[in-house]
Structure 1
Amino acid sequence: MRKSLLLASAAAVAASLTLAPATANAAATAQTAAKAPTKITFKASTTSSAQLTVTGRLTATGAPVPAGLPLTLQCLAVVKGIPWFTIAPRKGVKAPVTRAGGAFTFKGTTGCAHGQFRVRFAGDARLAPATSASVRDTRINAMVTGWKVSPLKVRKGGYVSFSGTLKQDPTPGRYVAFKGQRVYLIVRYKGDREWTWFARPKTDAKGHFTARWRLYKNASFAYVYYGDKTHYYDSPLKATYVSVR
């Protein structure tokens, strides 16, 4: 049933285009011309913890902009081959919509280091669609490579060693050593809920850091680079568990 209806609908559209393409194009042009031209301007800022704030305005020539118009925030990553994608708000975070007069804001999490942001308006019965100019995210990515915890089984009171290398990519995608930075090493003992830091080694000229910790009970370990005014933070997706024999 659904297939036959779809074919019938497609045939009807094809027939209308065949019989009167000029009329259809003229009607579409007239409809677009009747809508008020619109423009979007905005600014974007980020924090080291990857929080994104966008503030901007949708304006229309010769027409007021009402409250409640939905907007789409998009990102273009620096990775080649990935097209513009919508930044989906997390649970409890609202997508941007206009206030009366066209102003809008958005606060959420970004995943677009070095990428570009833009805002789009799909248009409605009175206002024409619009796409803003793009704004680049200038905050630099940072990440720890070669993270190692050894051994994973230790005698009570024995030492556990930690090491890794912190890198940054001031040139998008080209990571180099990041020296002189504090990397916090954190621990959560079995049965505890809270993480606490036990060492904060500074990276050397090659971005390398090391530390040791005496362990008396089973625990999970991780690292945190907190970032700064120009860099994003970094931490592992999963903690490393060490058991005490």
Structure 2
Amino acid sequence: MGILVLLLGFPTISAHADIAGTKVQPTLTISADPTSVDPDHPTAEISGQVTVPDGSGGTVGVPGLAVDLSANAGWGSITDAVTDQTGHYTATFVPAGEDTDDVNVWANTAETSDYAAAYSGTLLVHLAKAETRISLSPDRTTAVEGTKIGLSGTVERESATGWQPAAGVSVSLYGTAAGCWPPSQTVAADTAGHFQALLPLPCTGTFTARAHGTLYQPSQATTGTIAIQQAVHFKSGASIDVYGNVTVGGSVNVDYPSGSFAGKPLAIQYSADAGKWTTIKKITFNDNGYTTRFWYGRSGYWRAVFAGDTQYAPATSAASKAWRWNTRLESVKFAPKKVRKNHYITASGKLTRAVSKTKRTGYAGQKIEIAFRFKGKKTWYHLAWGKTDKYGRFSKKVKAHGSGYYQVIFRGGADTFADWTDGKAYVRTSALGAYTAITPDRPTPPAPITGRL
């Protein structure tokens, strides 16, 4: 009876490993439900069974065996599984990527102490991609460089019941423009299929939105041309000379040049305190630069203003300070009033300067020039240089070459205007117009000195 039991038990042992020690070859099956995934059924259940012969012409499931599930690299993911008590396993396949319509899935089991390795063969899962359509609208058709353009639209997909929102679909937004490189951005459509983004467009061009996804046929929409006014960058400066002549000049540049500024209008503006501005002169650009010189006779601040056009945005240069202080020749005398020819007379007086808008002082250590013109002649001659003392006073003897007119000239300092007497002998200096601390007393330069005695 005991021998019979051994004989009856022999098939059970053979179901797992033969007596000679040869490992049993399992059978590994695989299937998918559904075999085609789409936006309404975005995943597939992968299932199968591992079986071995049961020794009596049938099969039996192998429990607790690890099943390694794989898919084409980059085209999907699938979890590994372990067989249950009946040898069955299940896993979930999630498609990925956008470059294929079909994905191969397969299963493997590794060799163990009882069983040889097994391979299921490949199973094809089809990706039924839905058609899509997309709309795109910008929030403006013109903008200044650097302004972010609001982009919005809707993505829909085709279904058995018609078009419906394509929730979660990726939307890639990018700009196209000649001569510049717009940034790009990818967003996802919300549950209603809507999407929005803010992107700058550096120069005139368009935006395109492209809807795409693993289970969607791509579609795209492009805006009309969006005109971008290029941002203008100024370099500007101003100066004022000792006679009140103002020079304003500079240059402009843009990030994405598309032409010259030559001939475009430019306003030159003045402000006494960099507060209220007044246009003093209108000029035009010379290529990508500008310069102008004119008499204004007042210290202050200057700037250039470009009103803008369809190509370039309005721009204003930084304010440039052009500043000098008033000087004045005071109490000027030539004595004596009568003298023999080639004898000497003395030119004396005082040079003062403003140090603020309300205070002035003697101008020390400054050179003053004595000039002479013969009566009835137009030519002025240099006679001598003098120098002011610490109080601004000066006294200089010069030879009297004949009857004529004398003049004292101060030709300005590093931060001061020039001044000179009116060229009438023995007549005290007189200022022209109301005095202010930041204007020269004389509106035009003295006559040029062309000779020397």
Same structural fold, with TM-score higher than 0.5 when normalized by the shorter chain:
yes
In the other structure, the counterpart of 1:55 is 249
Q: Are 2:292 and 1:106 equivalent residues in the alignment? A: yes
Q: Match for residue 330 of structure 2?
A: 146
Length-normalised TM-score, structure 2: 0.38
**Hey, what does 1:18 align to over in structure 2?**
none
Query: Are residues 1:121 and 2:303 paired?
Result: no
| Amino acid of the structure 2 residue aligned with 1:97 | T
Rounded Cα–Cα distance in structure 2 between residues aligned with 1:32 and 1:50: 41
Name the structure 1 match of 2:270.
75
- C-alpha root-mean-square deviation of aligned residues, in Å? 3.6
Residue 266 of structure 2 aligns to which amino acid in structure 1?
L
Of 415, 423, 428, which aligns to 1:239?
423
Amino acid aligned to 1:163:
S
Q: Give the deviation of 1:71 after TM superposition.
A: 1.5
Deviations 1:1-38 (A, max 9, x none): xxxxxxxxxxxxxxxxxxxxxxxxxxxx9878666243
Distance 1:75 1:123 in 2: 20
- In 1, Cα distance between equivalents of 2:292 and 2:388: 36
Task: Give secondary structure in 2 for the equivalent of 1:201.
Answer: strand
Gaps of 5+ in 2: 1-139, 145-226, 428-453
Question: C-alpha distance in 2, partners of 1:131/1:41?
Answer: 10
Q: Which residue of 1 aligns with 2:370?
A: 185
CA deviation string 1:24-58 (max 9, x = no partner): xxxxx987866624343212344445454433123
Higher strand share: 2
TM-score, normalised relative to structure 1: 0.64
Question: C-alpha distance in 1, partners of 2:349/2:394?
Answer: 6
Name whichever of 122-131 and 31-40 sits farther off: 31-40
Structure 1, residues 163-204: CA drift from partner, whole Å, max 9, x if none? 322123344553222111111011111132221122322111
Residues 28-43 of structure 1: pairs in structure 2 closer than 5 A: 36=229, 37-43=231-237
Instruction: Report the residue type matching 1:226 in the other structure.
Output: R
- Paired residues, number: 203
Whether the aligned pair in 2 keeps the contact of 1:154 and 1:242 (CA below 8 Å) is no
Question: Counterpart of 1:41 in 2: which secondary structure?
Answer: strand
Of residues 97, 110, 114, the one that matches 2:284 is 97
As a proportion of its length, which structure holds more helix?
Answer: 1
Match of 1:44 among 215, 225, 238: 238
Identity level (%): 24
> What's the CA shift string for 1:105-139, capped at 9, x where partnerless?
223445233x111111233344333222211124x
Indicate conservation of the 8 Å contact 1:165/1:177, yes or no.
yes
